[in-house]
A and B are shown apart, each in its own frame.
Chain A
Amino acid sequence: AQSVTQLDSHVSVSEGTPVLLRCNYSSSYSPSLFWYVQHPNKGLQLLLKYTSAATLVKGINGFEAEFKKSETSFHLTKPSAHMSDAAEYFCVVSDYQGSSNTGKLIFGQGTTLQVKP
């Protein structure tokens, strides 16, 4: 079975400093991995996705993530945090059951990013 674990439930950074949100995955096959962001009282917005092409994936708003198979990790980074980055971030893996396309996403528990002025 596929799963993701977000290693921090809450991360606090100062504006202008780097952001690191950590995610480890477990998968019996080559996974499709995503990072989504949810601002308060909003739906989920895709930041970036990995689908076995380049291991370094660039997303929107300056975010990027690196797929490391040896470490089973897919950490999200941004060089310089902005106040508008304060939100909840979800690491997500596509479920895979045999040969079926299940249309099912498995979510991590989320990391709340706080950005201090």
Chain B
Amino acid sequence: KAGVTQTPRYLIKTRGQQVTLSCSPISGHRSVSWYQQTPGQGLQFLFEYFSETQRNKGNFPGRFSGRQFSNSRSEMNVSTLELGDSALYLCASSVSGGLEETQYFGPGTRLLVL
């Protein structure tokens, strides 16, 4: 089975712009979660989608949003980019997002905001 894929792998944007990141989960997985990784804050949960519905959201401003499509692919969008949004954005998929399930991570999208 193909793993979790994320596109693009690298992005450079300027402050004030907006960006959309894409995540394709493992076939058959319906839960997709997004995480932000920075040297200062570590790995932080952004949100989780299951069957096109956001089930859980982390403590991020409203500039961070996401959606999930009927084929379970997910996108996240960051509007009005700030320098502090520079990070590695990771998505993870699992069958249904259960507590005991393994989440499989993609390689990440590295975003640099100038």
Q: Real complex partners, A and B?
A: yes
Binding site for B on A (CB under 8 A): 32, 34, 36, 42-46, 49, 51, 90, 94-97, 100-110
Binding site for A on B (CB under 8 A): 4, 31, 33, 35, 42-45, 48, 50, 55-56, 58, 90, 92, 94, 96-100, 102-108
B35 to chain A minimum Cβ distance, whole angstroms, is 8
Q: A43-B90, A100-B55 are in contact. Are A105 and B42 (CB under 8 A)?
A: no
B102 to chain A minimum Cβ distance, whole angstroms, is 5
A44 to B102, CA, bound (A): 12
Total A-B residue pairs with C-beta atoms closer than 8 Å? 69
Contacts of A90 in B (CB 8 A): 43
Task: Indicate if the CB atoms of B100 and A94 lie closer than 8 Å.
Answer: yes
Task: Indicate if the CB atoms of A103 and B94 lie closer than 8 Å.
Answer: yes
Query: Per DSSP, are chain B's interface residues mostly helix, strand or loop, or mixed?
Result: strand
Contacts of B102 in A (CB 8 A): 34, 46, 49
Other-chain residue from B45, B98, B105 in contact with A106 (beta carbon distance below 8 A): B45
Task: Indicate if the CB atoms of A104 and B43 lie closer than 8 Å.
Answer: no
Contacts of A49 in B (CB 8 A): 100, 102
B29 to chain A minimum Cβ distance, whole angstroms, is 11
